[in-house]
Amino acid sequence: MERLAPCRVNYLKSFLKFTDDDGAAINSAKPLIAPALPAILDTIYTNLIGFDVTAKAFVPPQPEQEKVEGAEKTTVNDLSLTHPNVLHRKDFLKAYLVKLVSNSDWSDSSKFWEYLDKVGVMHTGKPGFKHREKRPELRVEVMHMSLLLGFVEDIVLQAVMGAEELDTQTKTNVIRAFNKLLWIQNDLFQKHYVTKAE
pLDDT in tens, 156-191: 999 999 999 999 999 999 999 999 999 999 999 999
- Coil/strand/helix, residue 58: helix
Q: Does domain 6-193 have CATH number 3.40.50.2000?
A: no
Span 115-130, average pLDDT? 79
124 beta partners: 139
Domain ranges in the chain? 6-193
Q: State which amino acid sits at residue 75.
A: T
The per-residue pLDDT for range 16-45, each reduced to its tens digit, is 999 999 999 999 999 999 999 999 999 999
Spatial separation of the C-alpha atoms in residues 54 and 64, rounded to whole Å: 22
Distances in whole angstroms, Cα of residue 48 to Cα of each of 87, 124, 127, 143 = 13, 18, 22, 13
Cβ-contact 142, 189 below 8 angstroms: yes
The structure's pTM equals 0.86
The per-residue pLDDT for range 68-95, each reduced to its tens digit, is 665 567 899 999 999 998 998 899 999 9
- Tell me which residue of 38, 103, 88, 100 sits closest to 58, measured CA to CA: 88
pLDDT of residue 21: 98
Cβ-contact 29, 181 below 8 angstroms: no
